[in-house]
Amino acid sequence: MINLDFLENVEAFTDLDDNQLTAIQDCCEVADFNRGEKIFAAGEIPDHFWIVLAGQVNLTWDAPEGPALQENTITTLSEGMPFGWSSLVPPYKYHLSAHCASRNCKTVRIPKGRLLQLFEDDAQLGYKVMSKVMIVAGQRFHQLQDEVARRRGHDIINRW
Amino acid sequence: MSGLDFLEKVEIFKGLNHDQLKSVKKGAQEKKYFYGDRLFAEGEDADRIWLVMDGQVDLRFDLPGRPTSEENTIFSISTPQTLGWSNFVPPFKYALSAYSATKTCSVLQIDKQHLLECFEKDPRMGLMFMTNVAAIASMHFDQLLESANVSPVAKVKITVHMSTCGIAAGARQVMSALVEEISCSDRPDIEVASSGCIGHCKNEPNITVEIGGGEPVIYQKMTPDKMRQIFQKHILGGEVQKGYILND
C-alpha cells in the first residue's frame, strides 16, 4: 500500500488533509515497467492519473510520422512527480507519451473514474487537486515550448 | 444584457448555477476604457481576471522607452473572451500588456482573491471553474503540439539562422518567440526551419521569410519582440517591415 507520507508530498496532493489522502490512497495501484516500455501513448483516451514512485519516466511528444524518440523528450520525471494531468480534464486525451526511462520504474496509477468520483463526493478535495493540476499543466506547456525551440536549433547545428 | 446573462455565456463559468454566478458577480467591477488606454502591463502581478463585454482588447508587447503601438499586437480578444490564465499558473504575472483597441471598450474585472474566497466557501464551484480553465489550457497545449510539427503543405517558410554566431547573438530566443506566435495563430501552413550562418555575423540573429513563391526577405539583428512584430505584420499581415531588413 502507498503510504501517506509519500502521497502528501506529491505536488497534486500537497493541500489535502489525512482523510482526503486516505481516500486517494484507497484508489492507488502500483504498476512496474522496464526501460523503454510504454506507459501510455499520446492520443489515447486516459484510464489513469499517474505518479512516479521510483525510477524515471520520460514524457515525449510524437511527430505524426513516427514513434516517440528519446530526442523528443520534453521532461524526465522522478520520484513523487505526477503526470497524465489531461486524464482529469475534458476532452480527456493524453497529449504526450510516457515511457520508462530507467532500468525499472515503479508508478502509482489512480483510475481516472475513481478519482473523478472522489471529486464528486468531496468537492473540496476536487478543488484542491484541480488547482494543483493547473500548475502542472502550466509547467508542461512551458517545457514543451522550450523543447520545440531547442530541438529545432539542435537539428540545424548538427547539419551545419 | 444583465451581468448574470453575460457571465453565464463565459466559458470559464460554464456549469455554474444562478447563485454561484451571483456570488462571482459581487467581486466584479465593470470598467470602460477609451482607445489606447492600458488595462494592465506586462510583468504586473496577475490579480484579477478580465472579461471583454464590448469592444476589443489588444495584447501587446511593449518596447522600452517607446509608446505602445498596434504594430506590437500579439492577438486581440473580443466578447465573451477572457484573460486570466496567468492568475493560476506560476509566476502569476501578466506575460503581455493589454490595451483598448476600439473607441471604447467595456470589461468586467473579477478580483482573483474574491474568486478564491468564493471557492473556499463553495469548493464545488471552484472545482468547476478550475476544470474549465484547465480545459482551455488543454486546447492551447494541442495548438502548440500542432505547431511543433512541420506542415507538408506549408505555404510560408520562416528560416531562423542558428549558426553558433547566431545563437550567441540570441537566435534561440528568437526561435522561441516564433514558436509561441505560431502556436497562437492557428496557421498549419507555416513551416519553420533553421539553417547555418549566411555570412552576416555582425548583423545576427538573421531570419529569412518566404511567402508563396515570392522573393525571400532577410531580417537582421532580430530580438524576440521584433520577431513577434514581423510575425504579426509581415507573415500574417503581408506588410514587409522595411526598417528591419538586412543591409548589405
Residue B39 sits at φ, ψ, to 5 deg, of: -85, -45
Classify B99 as helix, strand or coil: strand
- Tell how far CA B18 is from the center of its chain: 32
Which of the 8 DSSP states describes residue B139?
H
| Residue A149: closest C-alpha in chain B | B176
Q: Which CATH number fits domain A4-153: 1.10.3130.10, 3.40.190.120, 2.60.120.10, 1.10.260.40?
A: 2.60.120.10
Find cell 475513481 and name the residue: A114
> What pLDDT digit, counting tens, does each position of B11-40 carry?
899 999 999 999 999 999 999 999 999 999
Ranges of each domain in chain A: 4-153
Find chain A residues with C-beta within 8 A of B199's C-beta: none
Ranges of each domain in chain B: 3-146, 156-244
Among B71, B70, B79, B67, CA closest to B101 = B70
When CB atoms are compared, the residue of A95, A119, A149 closest to B141 is A95
* B138 Ramachandran zone, left/alpha/beta (phi>0; psi -120 to 50): alpha
- Reported as half-sphere exposure (CB side, CA atoms, 13 A), residue B123 has a value of 13
Which of the 8 DSSP states describes residue B231?
I
Which three cell numbers mark A84? 497524465
> What pLDDT digit, counting tens, does each position of A5-59 carry?
999 999 999 999 999 999 999 999 999 999 999 999 999 999 999 999 999 999 9
DSSP sequence for A127-152: HHHHHHHHHHHHHHHHHHHHHHHHHH
Find cell 466559458 and name the residue: B11
- Mean pLDDT over residues A89-115, rounded? 96
> What pLDDT digit, counting tens, does each position of B79-107 carry?
888 887 788 888 898 878 899 999 999 99
> Is the pLDDT assigned to residue B110 strictly greater than 90?
yes
| Residue B139: closest C-alpha in chain A | A91
When CB atoms are compared, the residue of A61, A63, A127 closest to B130 is A127
Among B34, B57, B56, CA closest to B104 = B34
Which three cell numbers mark B106? 467595456
Task: Indicate the pLDDT class of residue B216, thresholds 50, 70 and 90.
Answer: confident
* ipTM score: 0.89
Find cell 520562416 and name the residue: B158
Number of H helices, E strands in chain B: 7, 12
CA distance B39 to A2: 48
Task: Indicate the pLDDT class of residue B126, thresholds 50, 70 and 90.
Answer: very high
Which three cell numbers mark A42? 499520446
CATH code, B3-146: 2.60.120.10
Which three cell numbers mark B23? 456570488
Q: Chain B within 8 Å of A155 (Cβ-Cβ)?
A: yes
Q: What is the nearest CA distance from B34 to chain A, expressed in angstroms?
A: 33
Q: Which CATH number fits domain B156-244: 3.90.226.10, 3.40.30.10, 2.102.10.10, 3.30.1360.120?
A: 3.40.30.10
Taken in order A141, A147, A148, A153, the sign of the CA dihedral is positive
Residue A160: per-residue pLDDT: 42
* Percent of chain B residues topping a pLDDT of 90: 40
Task: Indicate the pLDDT class of residue B187, thresholds 50, 70 and 90.
Answer: confident
